[in-house]
Amino acid sequence: MPAHFRFGAPPLALLALLALVPSAATAGSTAPGSFPYQAPSYAGLYDDEYRRPLDGSYRYAPPAEVAQWGGLYVGAHLGAGYGGSDLRVLGVGDIDTGGFLGGLLVGYNFQMGSIVGGLEADVAWSGIDGSDSNASSTATAGYDWLSSMRFRIGYAFGNWLAYGTAGLAFSNFWLEAAEPGLDLSQSDSLLGYALGAGVEYQLSRGINFRAEALYFGFEDAEFAAGGSDVTADPGVTTIRAGVSIKLN
């Protein structure tokens, strides 16, 4: 008996279902080129080595930036000084001195991380002087200029540098005195030491502002006065503000 195949309801339903499968599979896609490519949601979130999202927040905080202090610099300073000069032999005793000063500076810094060291030299033209008198004697003393050559060592944090400094000091000290049998007007170049501390702020990579205090201590100044010598023991404390410019 020959076989007969009949397409009834079940085969027709199966064929219809198979025809729908490819349509359903491609319903969620579009033909190439229909829309521009869209990057994954994570692309472009970070714009630097510290993986900073473009919205401005930080996933990993970058290390604190330390300003660069190394190199050669020149500058200027302005300030005031005060001190005393103990006079021996003259009857006036101690002379209090005070006044303004201003000058130039030059230096070189070395930097290792947050530690900054260097060498600095400065010179200041001085208006620091004073006088004293009694019934029979008068005396006036002062400094024509003050200079120093010092080592500096400090610690940098952010744009700030705090430092200590020490080295040699130089000055030209003068004395004018008069008493019965004595008329003195002389000067003496002195050698001594300078000690101090200060802070600097780096406004930009090339300009620094500073404030510092320095004490200048000197050897005794000796002045020949006829048959006797007049000896002075000078010392002065200065408070200065300054600005410097890095040259490299």
pTM of the predicted protein model? 0.72
CA 223 to centroid of chain Cα atoms: 42
For the ranges 3-12, 113-122, 165-174, which has the lowest average pLDDT? 3-12
- In the predicted structure, residue 62 carries a pLDDT above the cut 50: yes
Tokens 């620091």 belong to 128
What is the Cα–Cα distance from 126 to 102, expressed in whole angstroms? 7
Confidence of residue 93 (pLDDT cuts 50, 70, 90): confident
- In the predicted structure, residue 23 carries a pLDDT above the cut 70: no
- In the predicted structure, residue 106 carries a pLDDT above the cut 70: yes
Which pLDDT belongs to residue 248? 79
Give the torsion through C-alpha atoms of 82, 83, 87, 90, to 10 deg. Answer: 40
Mean pLDDT for 193-221 is: 94
- In the predicted structure, residue 69 carries a pLDDT above the cut 50: yes
Cβ-count burial 10-29 (b if 16+ within 10 Å, e if not): eeeeeeeeeeeeeeeeeeee
Mean pLDDT for 131-137 is: 82
Q: Which of 38-47, 66-75, 102-111 has the highest mean pLDDT?
A: 102-111
Domains of the chain: 71-246 (2.40.160.20)
- In the predicted structure, residue 29 carries a pLDDT above the cut 60: no
Give the torsion through C-alpha atoms of 163, 166, 169, 175, to 10 deg. Answer: 80
